[in-house]
Amino acid sequence: MTKRLLIIGFVWPEPKSSAAGSRMMQLIEAFHSNDYNITFASTCAKKDNAFDLSSLDIQQVSIKLNNSSFDEFIKELNPEIVVFDRFMVEEQFGWRVAEQCPDALRILDTEDLHCLRKGREQALKDESVFNKSYLFNEVSKREIASIYRCDVSLIISEEEIEILKNQFKVGNHLLYYLPFLIEPLSSEAKRKLPKIKEREHFISIGNFLHPPNYDAVLFLKSKIWPLIREKLPKAEIHIYGAYASEKVNQLHNEKEGFLIKGFTDDVNFVMQNAKVCLAPLRFGAGLKGKLIDAMTNGTPCVMTSIATEGMFGGFEPNGFIADEVQEFANKAVELYTDKIFWNGKQKNGFLVMNARFDKQLFVSDFIYKINAIQNNLKVHRLDNFTGQMLQHHTTQSTKFMSKWIEEKNKNN
């Protein structure tokens, strides 16, 4: 029997613009391949880069915030499963789902731990060491409450699973590890990739609306690139990413070989033509889509430890890890100029991709897990009294604020 699934998106998925967009499409395809009848809804306006979900026969619905029309919509749809895309969406719609469809399985897709990213960003601004006082921030209180209110939360990084279990004491039964779900790399696909002598220049990529990416570009421009350029005066760095603002474009400098390229419609093409990918992230969370793109296209990387978090497990990285500026620059030059190092690091990346992110390793187990929880939902919820308590208390303030805004809008 076909099951009805509702995904409430923070935005419409843009797989060519961000790792979050790619992740959402991977989730959609996992459910789609298992014959779920999917409806995707969002309050956000659809942008030009949004994926055409109708090509997958997915119903697309525009919904409103603080409006009881959503109650009527979801009651009529009556989904067996509801996926919230990030905790902010669960805050806005979770109480309505619980009221109208109490037996629907509620899944939170965290994308990454927002509280972890925010805490690290603040520690960087304060020039302080990141610790519990930064982790236990205002966003944490909201995000962890959302995790408890849902029946299961999808966590993209093993590191974040450990943080949730050890620092926040979230029960293991509420968490499910589901990383990026990638098509395995075949021997033929690897053979067809350009060799080191057919590539040139450095590349860095990331959606500019995402604060860690913008910070990384500034860090690259001011601290790292001058040191690389000193030793490789003919090399260029090509910076790609969606939504480049004027302040980003002002960093473009042809004399310095620092080129802002902006949005690319084909990340594989630009990544395959680059010799080395640079990912000097100083804060962030989750898994880095740029490293997945690099490994898929056989492009070795130099990256900070923040960039590598949750990526390699016990495997060797597809490049060098460096947090200090001079070491980062030295390793970039070494990787760019040493064919033996380059080929070895490329092979590491291929191994990591097929051993850790092959979707065939995860999708069937994920669907089995979802079915198992759904078939024993009452028992599952009995083991989550904290979630019941939070559903009772915290959603009341959200609920009545939303109702107040709705009445206010009517009067206006």
Report residue 230's pLDDT band, with 50, 70 and 90 as the boundaries. very high
Neighbouring CB atoms inside 10 A of 393's CB total: 10
Q: 257 and 229 in contact (C-beta within 8 Å)?
A: yes
Residue of 61, 62, 109 lying closest to 81 (CA atoms)? 109
Q: What is the pLDDT of residues 22-32, one digit of tens each?
A: 999 999 999 99
Residue of 178, 157, 183 lying closest to 296 (CA atoms)? 183
Average pLDDT over residues 129-146: 96
The span from the CA of 121 to the CA of 134, in Å, is 9
pLDDT at 395: 56
The span from the CA of 93 to the CA of 96, in Å, is 5
Average pLDDT over residues 262-282: 97
Average pLDDT over residues 32-52: 95
pLDDT at 406: 82
Phi and psi at residue 299, to the nearest 5°: -110, 110
Average pLDDT over residues 134-163: 97
The residues, ordered by sequence, that sit 6+ positions from 174 with a Cβ below 8 Å of its Cβ are 147, 148, 150, 151, 152, 153, 384, 387
Proportion of the chain above pLDDT 90, given as a percent: 93
Q: What is the pLDDT of residues 178-225, one digit of tens each?
A: 999 999 999 999 999 999 999 999 999 999 999 999 999 999 999 999
201 burial type by CB count under 10 A (0-12 exposed, 13-18 middle, 19+ buried)? middle
pLDDT at 405: 81
Q: 39 and 63 in contact (C-beta within 8 Å)?
A: no
For residue 217, the one-letter residue type is V
Report residue 281's pLDDT band, with 50, 70 and 90 as the boundaries. very high
Q: 172 and 195 in contact (C-beta within 8 Å)?
A: no
- pLDDT above 70 for 333: yes
- pLDDT above 70 for 392: yes
Average pLDDT over residues 165-179: 97
pLDDT at 343: 98
The span from the CA of 27 to the CA of 22, in Å, is 9
For the chain, how far is it from start to end, CA to CA, in angstroms? 45
- pLDDT above 70 for 321: yes
Q: What is the pLDDT of residues 104-124, one digit of tens each?
A: 999 999 999 999 999 999 999
- pLDDT above 80 for 412: no
Total residues found in the chain within this entry: 412
DSSP E strands in 67-194: the ranges are 81-85, 105-109, 152-155, 175-177
Neighbouring CB atoms inside 10 A of 1's CB total: 4
The residues, ordered by sequence, that sit 6+ positions from 264 with a Cβ below 8 Å of its Cβ are 16, 205, 240, 270
pLDDT at 398: 73
The span from the CA of 285 to the CA of 306, in Å, is 8
**In the structure encoding, which two tokens stand for residue 238, read together?**
């090509």
Q: 206 and 218 in contact (C-beta within 8 Å)?
A: no
Averaged pLDDT score across all residues of the chain: 95
Average pLDDT over residues 340-344: 97
